[in-house]
Structure 1
Amino acid sequence: MSNLPERIADVEDADCTGMQALVTGSTSGIGRHAALALGRLGADVIVHGRDRQAGEAVVDELTALGVEGRFVEADFADTDSVWELAATVRAETESLDILANNAGGFFRNNRLTGLGVEYTFHVNHLSPYLLTAELLDHLAADARVITTASAAHKGASLDLDRVSEADSGMGAYSHSKLANILFSTELARRLDAAGEDVTANSFHPGAIPGSGFSRFLPGPLPDLFAKLDAVPGVTSVEDGAAALVNLAVSPRLDGTSGRYFSGQDVTTPSSAARNRDGAKRLWERSAEWLDVEEPLSGY
């Protein structure tokens, strides 16, 4: 099949045998396609999501490929659930070669989580931050951390005060995606300063009608967005998954860290996403919101 993500990414010859990968949000959309692509390349994959039936179906597909798959259920609006996910990964793997922070969404209801944090920001940023922090010392020496961001970040500026206010829709989504990029670049900077070979990059997967994103949109937009599947030039789910797989395994990207990609191409994010002071403040405040020790402190 010419539309396999690993073929689109030109990494179908990559040998991931023996590698361990965690792909969050992998019961559907680009996460599912990326998980299966990594399985076809030989990696064992931990599948994550909230829908156990869908997750077990992905595991069955991975098993049929001859690799090991397992499903771990976790709600990214619940910090205890994320801690349990991290503990399960640590218990069931010797180390982790690929951490794909892919889970997230666009939410329409104004609400706060148990931390008193805006729901979209918690799910899309704080939970990947916490999961990564809990798995930092479990990552293999040359592991790759990939975070799914969005070009929607270009409509946002970092405002840490708004995080305690109930919000939703595109404003909240854009703010959380800006946080994704700032988190990824600050993680890369601190890993490098600490002398670690682990790399961290973020990417925009494209506007993908088949990704499931459209179900969060208001009014008639989900139906309109779904019809775009038939429009030439619109990014496919496979293309989005290829962007993730490219960052996860491409030998061309060995040592590449702290970059933002649009699809498979390095690009420049907004000025707000390049603000080092903002990245540092976000990193520190995220630890405070979660009431955890600041990861990679001192760097």
Structure 2
Amino acid sequence: MSRPEEIAGVEGVDCDGVQALVTGSTSGIGRAAALALGRLGADVIVHGRDRSAGDAVVDELEATGSDARFVPADFADPDSVRDLAATVREATDGLDVLINNAGGFFREGRRTDLGVEYTFHVNHLGPYLLTAELLDHLTDGSRVVTTASAAHRGSELDLTRVRTVEDYSATWAYGHSKLANVLFAAELAKRVETLDRSVVSNSIHPGAIPGSGFSRFLPGPLPRALQALDALPFVTSVADGAAELLVPAVSPETADVTGKYFADRRPTEPSRAARDATAARRLWEVSADLLGIDPPLPDASPGSE
């Protein structure tokens, strides 16, 4: 089986000296992408909630010669996310690659301590806050990649529903959070233009990946059904999903590509709702309000103050 870096066509890229953080990297495509970055020469910070799984990934990375460490964090807890960012700042001279990959599909409706619906908080507010905390630590030429999904299609941004779990739908909540991921990545690409250094931001669709561990979040017999699909040739593999992350993260061909949504390892047009610039700006402002922080970057839209 081909490795992710081979599928992405970046096996010849030299990442020596590159400092990378891959969230949600104790399993699935995050783990595969972290290991690929290590083989390319990058030093990698591994993130997750399972210390034993994280330590195992660190061991594999160190076997490739990578300087690696595991940092736990709960994306539903803003203080935990801030601690993760603080550790990254202390452990690195600057961050060259930030892969916002952590997230999940959650069957039960519940709210976090901030009163925000759990799926939206973990899948969107967590990476939003982490990125905000690391903005001044991103190096010139750095890349931010956010794992979204084709599940964003069919969703419209509705920020009134992220404060309640009444009539909760796990499928709607997941698709809505993935729409937020696409909008966030595009808006970040615009707002980082106000920085004194080059930063690119893109989102990706990793594909339908039974072996990623995502199926454990699904109800009833679906996890077993998806596991059975692993052997079928038309189903995306974990390596394929990790390759989707690597293309915008390290490929020389995407160094100046920003504000795009990648699928099948190339920029692809997302849904109409995901191209709504007004919705993206509102999401940015409301996200800051939900977290109780100032918007991390000024509006870079034409005509804005």
TM tier relative to shorter chain: over 0.9
Report what 1:13 is aligned to. 12
1:91-240 → structure 2 map (5 Å cutoff):
91-166=90-165, 167-194=168-195, 196-240=197-241
Q: Which amino acid aligns with 1:140?
A: T
1:67-78 → structure 2 map (5 Å cutoff):
67-78=66-77
Aligned partners of 2:142, 2:24: CA distance in 1, in Å? Answer: 19
Q: TM-score, normalised by structure 1?
A: 0.98
Does the alignment pair 1:241 with 2:242? yes
- Displacement, 1:298? 4.2
The runs of at least 4 consecutive aligned structure 1 residues that moved more than 4 Å come to none
Tell me whether 129-138 or 162-171 shows the greater mean CA deviation. 162-171
Aligned partners of 2:288, 2:51: CA distance in 1, in Å? Answer: 30
- Count, aligned residues: 298
8 Å CA contact 1:107, 1:168 repeated in 2: no
Q: TM-score, normalised by structure 2?
A: 0.96
CA RMSD of aligned residues (A): 0.9
Report what 2:303 is aligned to. none
Does the alignment pair 1:26 with 2:25? yes
SS at match of 1:140: strand
- Displacement, 1:60? 0.2
Tell me whether 184-193 or 8-17 shows the greater mean CA deviation. 184-193
SS at match of 2:257: coil
8 Å CA contact 1:120, 1:168 repeated in 2: no
Aligned partners of 1:91, 1:33: CA distance in 2, in Å? Answer: 25
Identity level (%):
65
Q: Which amino acid aligns with 2:173?
A: A
Aligned partners of 2:87, 2:194: CA distance in 1, in Å? Answer: 29
Does the alignment pair 1:40 with 2:39? yes
1:258-269 → structure 2 map (5 Å cutoff):
258-269=259-270
SS at match of 2:125: helix
SS at match of 2:16: coil
- Displacement, 1:288? 0.4
8 Å CA contact 2:202, 2:261 repeated in 1: yes
Aligned partners of 1:175, 1:296: CA distance in 2, in Å? Answer: 23
Does the alignment pair 1:254 with 2:262? no
Aligned partners of 1:217, 1:190: CA distance in 2, in Å? Answer: 35
8 Å CA contact 1:240, 1:263 repeated in 2: no
SS at match of 2:83: helix
8 Å CA contact 2:188, 2:201 repeated in 1: yes
Tell me whether 263-272 or 191-200 shows the greater mean CA deviation. 191-200
- Displacement, 1:204? 0.2
- Displacement, 1:246? 1.2
- Displacement, 1:191? 1.3
Structure 1: runs of 5+ lacking an equivalent: none
Q: Which amino acid aligns with 1:210?
A: G
Structure 1, residues 20-65: CA drift from partner, whole Å, max 9, x if none? 0000000000000000000000000000000000000000001111
- Displacement, 1:196? 3.7
Aligned partners of 1:160, 1:184: CA distance in 2, in Å? Answer: 17
Tell me whether 15-24 or 167-176 shows the greater mean CA deviation. 167-176
Aligned partners of 1:38, 1:292: CA distance in 2, in Å? Answer: 33
Tell me whether 274-283 or 257-266 shows the greater mean CA deviation. 257-266
8 Å CA contact 2:139, 2:197 repeated in 1: no
